[in-house]
């Protein structure tokens, strides 16, 4: 006759009470948060007075233009229209923005030549300033457009052989990119002391050398001066290649490759964006949207903890009843702090991501506990097989099974009721008599 495992129900009343207390405290703190957040109240008044605009599709273009004009962020009306039209177009395409910083990211970059077509002095000035970062000026830009000068793909810097070269290849991820004929500028850099000590009668020192890439996009500068300082940068209308590359005190051949990207500029430059952000004239979500997201995520998070507690209760899982409420309290405080330290209407809400991630982990763990049998950690205690040092300890033969489990085993029984780990211990361990009691 097979014996039965007699299992005592483990009450989780203490854990349930503590979870109720923590839930009440966090709910009170969450409700109080909206009473002290002045940005939410200021935004509501700003919407009504027309001094604050929410950047979500469809954007109110008239109010946007008025805010840009009243804030004195730009100098002429044509440029204001240009900025307004491009902002409206991009925001309507994206429907909503994750944070206000998106206005200063790659998604809000446009073709640089559009600034010259804006018909405004500010637009032309931004374009000309961007040329300087590409190693180009107005004269060179116009020359490349109207009458580009021919250069070979291999250019000798000195007339004597030095055996030191700089070469490379220019490519692009853009389709139909023409690798042939790209202007490459090599600059020899001298220390300031060199120019100060140069005699007035000395011939001018050539510091810039030019080459054009061949059909494969390669270029080469030969016979460079040993210990010279050189930098190289490609130049092509409508494209940018990043920062210049080079070597100081060159002594051997060097190879520098470049990848072309379309020449683009942000709709708002850094100064304009910083002023607009400080003035808080834009939001990316309304207070009602934020409140809805906040309470929904917090509710999902709370439900996840209670589902986890319910799974432990149904499966009669034995564990410390203070751990789960403590984890709930600590993570709850962290969530509210994470929400409060950010601008709830202009920053990306990381608290929501944390709440949902924690809830997913708790739900999955609850499913595992509920539908799968848990390997009892107590089964590894008091066993010679898992702890060979145990028999050496004084009084180890007096150890007893956990209080919530009473296992009865008859010598004639082939299977110890309810747990395969008892069979494993029965086969491998000889000092298990304290686990089993014959009747």
137 in any annotated domain: no
Taking residues 170-191, what's their average pLDDT? 89
The model's confidence at residue 54, banded by pLDDT at 50, 70 and 90, is very high
Can you give the residue range of the structural domain that contains 161? 145-262
The model's confidence at residue 426, banded by pLDDT at 50, 70 and 90, is very low
* Same-domain pairing of 74 and 162: no
Crossing angle of helices 287-314 and 323-341, in 10° steps, is: 170
Residue 375 clears pLDDT 60, i.e. is over it: no
Residue 409 clears pLDDT 80, i.e. is over it: no
The model's confidence at residue 198, banded by pLDDT at 50, 70 and 90, is low
Crossing angle of helices 77-94 and 121-133, in 10° steps, is: 70
The model's confidence at residue 438, banded by pLDDT at 50, 70 and 90, is very low
**Among candidate residues 126, 125, 143, the one with its CA nearest the CA of residue 185:** 143
CA pair distance 33, 44, nearest whole angstrom: 16
* Same-domain pairing of 122 and 270: yes
Residue 391 clears pLDDT 90, i.e. is over it: no
Residue 367 structure tokens:
């499913």
> Which CATH number characterizes residue 197's domain?
2.60.40.10
Model pLDDT, residue 434: 36
* Same-domain pairing of 217 and 289: no
Which residues have CB under 8 Å from 97's CB, separation 6+?
55, 56, 91, 103, 284
Taking residues 380-406, what's their average pLDDT? 53
The answer to whether 349 and 295 are in contact (CB under 8 A) is: no
The model's confidence at residue 323, banded by pLDDT at 50, 70 and 90, is very high
438 in any annotated domain: no
434 in any annotated domain: no
268 in any annotated domain: yes
* Same-domain pairing of 267 and 301: no
In the predicted model, what is the mean pLDDT of the chain?
Answer: 81
Model pLDDT, residue 89: 92
The tally of domains found in the chain comes to 4
284 in any annotated domain: yes
The model's confidence at residue 407, banded by pLDDT at 50, 70 and 90, is very low
* Same-domain pairing of 166 and 253: yes
The model's confidence at residue 422, banded by pLDDT at 50, 70 and 90, is very low
* Same-domain pairing of 319 and 406: no
* Same-domain pairing of 59 and 79: yes
Model pLDDT, residue 36: 60
* Same-domain pairing of 300 and 358: yes
38 in any annotated domain: yes
* Same-domain pairing of 164 and 251: yes
Model pLDDT, residue 420: 43
Range of lowest pLDDT (20-24, 130-134, 165-169, 345-349): 130-134
134 in any annotated domain: no
The H or E element containing residue 275 is helix 270-279
Please identify, among 225, 247, 279, the residue that sits at the C-terminal boundary of a domain.
279
Taking residues 88-102, what's their average pLDDT? 91
Which residues have CB under 8 Å from 232's CB, separation 6+?
166, 168, 184, 185, 186, 187, 221, 244, 245, 246, 256
The model's confidence at residue 396, banded by pLDDT at 50, 70 and 90, is low
CA pair distance 96, 350, nearest whole angstrom: 17
Taking residues 184-197, what's their average pLDDT? 76
Q: Which of 135-139, 303-307, 313-317 has the highest mean pLDDT?
A: 303-307
CA pair distance 187, 176, nearest whole angstrom: 29
* Same-domain pairing of 158 and 257: yes
* Same-domain pairing of 287 and 363: yes
Residue listed under structure tokens 């920053």: 347
Computed over its alpha carbons, how large is the radius of gyration of the chain?
A: 37
Please identify, among 214, 233, 262, the residue that sits at the C-terminal boundary of a domain.
262
32 in any annotated domain: yes
Residue 86 clears pLDDT 90, i.e. is over it: yes
* Same-domain pairing of 155 and 208: yes
Taking residues 384-413, what's their average pLDDT? 51
Residue 428 clears pLDDT 50, i.e. is over it: no
Backbone φ, ψ for residue 340 (5° rounding): -75, -30
């Amino acid at each position: 006759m097979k014996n039965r495992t007699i299992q005592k129900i483990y009450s989780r009343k203490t854990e349930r009470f503590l979870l109720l207390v923590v839930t009440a405290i966090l709910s009170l703190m969450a409700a109080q948060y909206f009473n002290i957040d002045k940005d939410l109240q200021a935004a509501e008044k700003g919407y009504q007075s027309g001094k604050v605009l929410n950047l979500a599709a469809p954007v109110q273009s008239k109010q946007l233009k008025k805010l840009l004009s009243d804030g004195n962020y730009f100098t002429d009306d044509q440029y204001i229209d240009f900025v307004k039209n491009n902002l409206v177009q991009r925001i309507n395409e994206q429907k909503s923005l994750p944070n206000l910083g998106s206005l200063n990211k790659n998604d809000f970059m446009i073709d640089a030549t559009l600034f010259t077509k804006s018909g405004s002095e500010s637009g032309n000035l931004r374009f000309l300033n961007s040329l300087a970062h590409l190693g180009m000026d107005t004269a060179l830009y116009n020359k490349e457009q109207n009458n580009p000068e021919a250069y070979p793909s291999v250019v000798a810097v000195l007339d004597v052989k030095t055996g030191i070269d700089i070469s490379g290849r220019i490519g692009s991820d853009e389709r139909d990119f023409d690798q042939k004929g790209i202007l490459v500028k090599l600059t020899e850099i001298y220390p300031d002391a060199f120019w100060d000590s140069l005699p007035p009668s000395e011939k001018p020192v050539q510091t810039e050398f030019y080459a054009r890439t061949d059909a494969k996009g390669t270029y080469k500068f030969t016979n460079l001066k040993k210990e010279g300082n050189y930098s190289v940068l490609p130049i092509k209308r409508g494209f940018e290649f990043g920062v210049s590359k080079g070597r100081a005190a060159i002594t051997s051949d060097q190879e520098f490759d470049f990848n072309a990207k379309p020449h683009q500029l942000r709709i708002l430059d850094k100064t304009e964006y910083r002023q607009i952000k400080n003035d808080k004239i834009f939001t990316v979500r309304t207070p009602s949207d934020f409140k809805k997201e906040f309470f929904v995520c917090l509710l999902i998070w709370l439900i996840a903890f209670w589902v986890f507690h319910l799974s432990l209760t149904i499966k009669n899982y034995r564990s410390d009843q203070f751990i789960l409420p403590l984890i709930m309290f600590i993570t709850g405080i962290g969530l509210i702090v994470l929400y409060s330290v950010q601008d709830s209407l202009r920053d990306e809400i990381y608290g929501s991501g944390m709440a949902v991630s924690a809830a997913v982990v708790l739900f999955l763990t609850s499913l595992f506990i509920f539908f799968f049998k848990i390997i009892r950690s107590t089964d590894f205690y008091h066993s010679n097989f898992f702890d060979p040092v145990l028999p050496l300890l004084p009084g180890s033969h007096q150890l007893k099974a956990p209080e919530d489990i009473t296992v009865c085993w008859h010598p004639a029984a082939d299977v110890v009721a309810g747990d395969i780990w008892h069979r494993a211990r029965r086969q491998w361990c000889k000092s298990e008599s304290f686990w089993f009691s014959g009747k």
